[in-house]
Amino acid sequence: MSLQRIVRVSLEHPTSAVCVAGVETLVDIYGSVPEGTEMFEVYGTPDVDVYISPSMERGREPADTRRWHCDAGLEIIVVMNSPSKDLNDGHVQISYYSSRKPLPLAYAVLYLTCVDIALDCDLNCEGRENRSFVDKRQWVWGPRGYGAILLVNCDRDDPACDDQDNCDQRVRCLQDLEDMSVMVLRTQGPAALFDDHRLVLHTSSYDAKRARVFHACGPEDSCEAYRHVLGQDKMSYEVPRSHGDEERFFVEGLSFPDAGFTGLVSFHVTLLDDSNEDFSESPIFTDTVVFRVAPWIMTPSTLPPLEVYVCRVKNNMCFVDAVAELARKAGCKLTICPQAENRNDRWIQDEMELGYVQAPHKTFPVVFDSPRNGELQDFPYKRILGPDFGYVTREPQGSSVCGLDSFGNLEVSPPVVANGRESSGRRVTQVVRDFLHAQRVQPPVELFVDWLAVGHVDEFLSFVPAPDGKGFRMLLASPGACFKLFQEKRKWGHGRALLFEGLVGNVRVNTISINQVLSNENLISYNKFVQSCIDWNREVLKRELGLTEQDIVDIPQLFKTEKRKAVAFFPDLVNMLVLGKYLGIPKPFGPIINGRCCLEEKVRSLLEPLGLHCTFIDDFTPYHMLHGEVHCGTNVRRQPFPFKWWHMVP
Contacts for 491 with CB less than 8 Å, ≥ 6 apart: none
**In degrees to the nearest 10, what's the CA dihedral of 586, 592, 598, 599?**
-20
Q: CB–CB of 483/518 below 8 Å?
A: yes
Q: How confident is the model at residue 650 (pLDDT cuts 50, 70, 90)?
A: confident
d(CA 316, CA 328): 18
458 annotated active-site: yes
Q: How confident is the model at residue 405 (pLDDT cuts 50, 70, 90)?
A: very low
Q: Quick one: CA dihedral 276, 281, 286, 289, positive or negative?
A: positive
In the chain, the largest separation of any two C-alpha atoms, in whole Å, equals 122
Helix 479-491, helix 521-545: angle, nearest 10: 130
pLDDT at 98 > cutoff 50: yes
Phi, psi of 183 (to 5 degrees): -125, 130
CATH class of 6-116: mainly beta
d(CA 351, CA 514): 37
Q: Which residues pair with 97 in a beta bridge?
A: 39
- More confident call, 626 vs 7: 626
- More confident call, 35 vs 423: 35
106-129 mean pLDDT? 83
pLDDT tens by residue, 556-594? 999 999 999 999 999 999 999 999 999 999 999 999 999
- pLDDT score for 425: 42
Average the pLDDT over each of 9-18, 406-415, 435-444 and give the range with the smallest value: 406-415
pLDDT tens by residue, 18-30? 999 988 888 888 7
Q: Among residues 155, 458, 554, 618, which one is catalytic?
A: 458
d(CA 354, CA 359): 17
- pLDDT score for 281: 82
Helix 598-607, helix 479-491: angle, nearest 10: 120
pLDDT at 408 > cutoff 60: no
pLDDT at 308 > cutoff 60: yes
d(CA 604, CA 446): 30
Query: What is the residue-wise DSSP string for 560-575?
Result: EEETTEEEESS--TTS
SS3 state of residue 606? helix
173 annotated active-site: no
137-143 mean pLDDT? 91
**What is the CB neighbour count within 10 angstroms for residue 39?**
16
Q: How confident is the model at residue 534 (pLDDT cuts 50, 70, 90)?
A: very high
- pLDDT score for 419: 40
Q: Of 303, 499, 553, which Cα lies nearest the Cα of 412? A: 303
pLDDT tens by residue, 264-292? 999 999 999 887 777 778 898 999 999 99
- pLDDT score for 127: 45
* Mean pLDDT over each residue of the chain, to the nearest integer: 89
Q: Quick one: CA dihedral 175, 176, 179, 181, positive or negative?
A: negative
- pLDDT score for 571: 98
Q: Which residues pair with 593 in a beta bridge?
A: 596
Q: Of 372, 365, 340, 303, which Cα lies nearest the Cα of 632? A: 372
Q: How confident is the model at residue 56 (pLDDT cuts 50, 70, 90)?
A: low
231-256 mean pLDDT? 90
Q: How many residues does the chain have?
A: 650
120 annotated active-site: no
d(CA 355, CA 642): 14
d(CA 579, CA 577): 6
Q: Among residues 158, 350, 369, 619, which one is catalytic?
A: 350
Calculate what percentage of the chain has a pLDDT beyond 70: 92
Domain 297-647, architecture per CATH: 5-stranded Propeller (3.75)
Q: H or E stretch including 15? A: strand 15-20
- More confident call, 504 vs 617: 617
- pLDDT score for 557: 98
d(CA 591, CA 493): 13
Contacts for 238 with CB less than 8 Å, ≥ 6 apart: 198, 199, 200
- More confident call, 3 vs 382: 382
Domain ranges of the chain: 6-116, 122-293, 297-647
**What is the CB neighbour count within 10 angstroms for residue 614?**
18
Q: Classify residue 429 as exposed, middle or buried by CB count within 10 Å of its CB (0-12, 13-18, 19+).
A: buried
Q: For 122-293, which CATH superfamily applies?
A: Protein-arginine deiminase, central domain (2.60.40.1700)
Q: Among residues 91, 197, 268, 456, which one is catalytic?
A: 456
pLDDT tens by residue, 494-518? 999 999 998 876 678 899 999 999 9
Q: How confident is the model at residue 8 (pLDDT cuts 50, 70, 90)?
A: confident
Domain 6-116 matches domain 297-647 at the CATH topology level? no
Phi, psi of 286 (to 5 degrees): -135, 130
**What is the 3-state secondary structure of 30-60?**
HHHCCCCCCEEEEEECCCCEEEEEEECCCEE
* Strand order, beta sheet including 264-273: 148-150, 282-293, 264-273, 197-202, 236-238
